[in-house]
Structure 1
């Protein structure tokens, strides 16, 4: 009986030791805390912060995630992204799901909306994202955030804003020095694109994880018009999607993980729960440990 007890003890101890921070569920998730990170145009912009409970670490990686919705709708409270935030918190992350100005609310963001207006929309959303990042950095002691390990994430319109903020900062911000204290370890993009991949340089070629359908009808997978607009449409705007971005990252010797879904459309802007184990492993190895990984998965 004593031998059986010791065997069970050592088996449990080995199992506990085998679990890895940022990969396995090591903690319960705390209830979300809501903060207002800015007030713009009379609107309070809020974010929800998810944290691991019973975690003694004073400095933890942060994921800031921006929801989709065509800059007209969507919510930080959507079920899938809340589930993702709770899952990440259990692994030791702090996660912030953010709201931002929906400047196209009850208006079109399609081919009938002028291209210059689309770029301005990207700029305002990118600014909101960076303001949220600055706010969270200012609260690093309160929430146990490591400002050297921040992941910028987004879905659809949110991914467009985030990717433009990270890779097209020269196009998005009149004075990027405003955000010189904000540095990202990596990006997590679900069906996103940027204005111009030529602005990705060795300085801002941050590693990333990308999910995209090859036949996305709204946000281009490679390089194509936004919303597949005709050349004579007011909203004709060429964007560079996940395939083009990752090619640039490859050329610049940066790390990336690209999931391409053959024939997939914009549904791949949804949270890829069945692939999150690989996503979190890439976060840990490429973003935090600095391993050079260039990987593509065709589904």
Structure 2
């Protein structure tokens, strides 16, 4: 992915364009629901045409002219699911001051002939499904930006949010934007053959797709990925790429937290024709290597084995606060010296005991501060992983800074509940 905008320009946009007198984390408003908005037609995997639609939820009486916008994408393995599944999620966000659209996108891919999806004809079929979905999500973003005056929405504070296949879609829509990043499977391929019937697989076109390409771009401020994954972490090109929040369970059997095929923990031959994907745990080293600022990358990794969120209320609150902080948080904490990639913390949220990793085992000084810069905790860490007890600290989002003895600094955020 390319990003040429300077950090200072991005900061200027986010502080000038958004009214942050609204907390965006409390249900304060009634909600208006505009359903079945058509945003374009696109060719399905089998050559037919899909009419793509979305439902838009907006607050009533909030007085905003540039509401932050969330584009929510449902899951379903790229062959099932419906945008209505995220209706209540969007309604909750709208009651807090957000505009939220839950979108439809092209579903389906060729099965083996004997078995239908989730069994795939070959790994390229799932690649193509991801690619089509990302094209549609980009088109939805451009469509919504194009009607920003009608909806009183921002064109800069736009975020993608998804669950499972929807998170995979969101990640690719946000980070895959160069022609060179087009997967091999998205080009023209040999026909699918089911016995004596052949199904063509034409080139799927440019990464941006064809919907609403004449005016606004499909760039976003950030992504919330709930157990999602990427075909290639190299799509994330630098620390100025969209901010990222990820949630994953360590033993997720459907979308692996690490590097594996979908349905790796299910078996029955389903993973055999799926492509390898990089889950949240495999994306983390890339984010750390690129040096994303601590407020622009957060990973909550839960020690579990479900393809789900272990505590929906806590994770909804945490991710919503994270999104809000992208354009509203102004920290008074000074930054000095050389900054290295961030720490990793778990569990998050926590009730007090927090374990930290990601310092290469080097000793140093650990500080925990609230968002005003007030020091809450300080201790030296000489053995890693380092566990600290913040049971007495106030609840909320705090900044953790670790300064190694050689002056290298690492930072991350923690959430106490």
TM-score (norm 1): 0.82
Q: Partner residue of 2:78?
A: 71
Q: Which moved more, 1:26-35 or 1:62-71?
A: 26-35
Q: Partner residue of 2:347?
A: 298
* Larger-Rg structure: 2
Q: Partner residue of 2:105?
A: 100
Aligned with residue 86 of structure 1, among 82, 91, 106: 91
Please show how residues 243-282 of structure 1 align to structure 2 within 5 Å.
243-254=281-292, 255-268=296-309, 272-282=312-322
Q: Partner residue of 1:23?
A: 25
Please show how residues 42-53 of structure 1 align to structure 2 within 5 Å.
42-53=49-60
**Higher fraction of strand:** 2
CA deviations on 1:14-33 (whole Å, 9 max, x unpaired) are xxxxx842122221112333
For residue 234 of structure 1, report the CA deviation from its aligned partner. Answer: 5.0
CA deviations on 1:5-57 (whole Å, 9 max, x unpaired) are xxxxxxxxxxxxxx842122221112333301112243211100000001221
Provide the C-alpha distance between the structure 1 equivalents of 2:225 and 2:307, rounded to a whole number of angstroms: 13
Cα gap change, 1:260 to 1:226, in 2 (>3 Å):
same
1:133 has 2:138 as partner: no
Q: Which moved more, 1:60-69 or 1:173-182?
A: 173-182
Q: Which moved more, 1:177-186 or 1:196-205?
A: 177-186
Provide the C-alpha distance between the structure 1 equivalents of 2:330 and 2:273, rounded to a whole number of angstroms: 40
For residue 199 of structure 1, report the CA deviation from its aligned partner. Answer: 2.5
Provide the C-alpha distance between the structure 2 equivalents of 1:207 and 1:33, rounded to a whole number of angstroms: 29
Consecutive unaligned residues in structure 2, runs of 5 or more: 1-20, 43-47, 183-204, 336-341, 349-417
1:57 has 2:95 as partner: no
Count of residue pairs brought into register by the alignment:
278
Q: Given that residues 168 and 195 in structure 1 are in contact (C-alpha distance below 8 angstroms), is that contact kept between their aligned partners in structure 2?
A: no
CA deviations on 1:135-194 (whole Å, 9 max, x unpaired) are 111111111110100011111111111111222333347354976722211101111000
Q: Partner residue of 2:192?
A: none
Provide the C-alpha distance between the structure 2 equivalents of 1:273 and 1:176, rounded to a whole number of angstroms: 34
Q: Partner residue of 1:37?
A: 39
Provide the C-alpha distance between the structure 1 equivalents of 2:49 and 2:232, rounded to a whole number of angstroms: 32
Q: Partner residue of 1:219?
A: 255
Cα gap change, 1:105 to 1:93, in 2 (>3 Å):
farther
1:238 has 2:285 as partner: no
Greater relative CO (CA pairs within 8 A, separation 6+): 1
**Higher fraction of helix:** 1
Q: Partner residue of 2:228?
A: 192
For residue 225 of structure 1, report the CA deviation from its aligned partner. Answer: 2.4
Q: Partner residue of 2:154?
A: 146
Q: Given that residues 64 and 97 in structure 1 are in contact (C-alpha distance below 8 angstroms), is that contact kept between their aligned partners in structure 2?
A: yes
Q: Is the partner of 1:77 in helix, strand or coil? A: helix
Q: Partner residue of 1:8?
A: none
CA deviations on 1:241-260 (whole Å, 9 max, x unpaired) are 11122332222222222121
For residue 290 of structure 1, report the CA deviation from its aligned partner. Answer: 7.3
Provide the C-alpha distance between the structure 2 equivalents of 1:92 and 1:153, rounded to a whole number of angstroms: 16
Q: Is the partner of 2:32 in helix, strand or coil? A: coil
For residue 90 of structure 1, report the CA deviation from its aligned partner. Answer: 1.2
Aligned with residue 182 of structure 1, among 218, 222, 228: 218
Cα gap change, 1:290 to 1:125, in 2 (>3 Å):
farther
Consecutive unaligned residues in structure 1, runs of 5 or more: 1-18
Cα gap change, 1:168 to 1:181, in 2 (>3 Å):
closer
Provide the C-alpha distance between the structure 1 equivalents of 2:242 and 2:90, rounded to a whole number of angstroms: 22
Cα gap change, 1:169 to 1:93, in 2 (>3 Å):
same
How well do the aligned residues superpose, as a CA RMSD in angstroms? 3.0
Please show how residues 167-178 of structure 1 align to structure 2 within 5 Å.
167-170=175-178, 171-172=181-182, 174=206, 176=208
CA deviations on 1:186-228 (whole Å, 9 max, x unpaired) are 1011110000112211166321111111111111102122322
TM-score (norm 2): 0.60
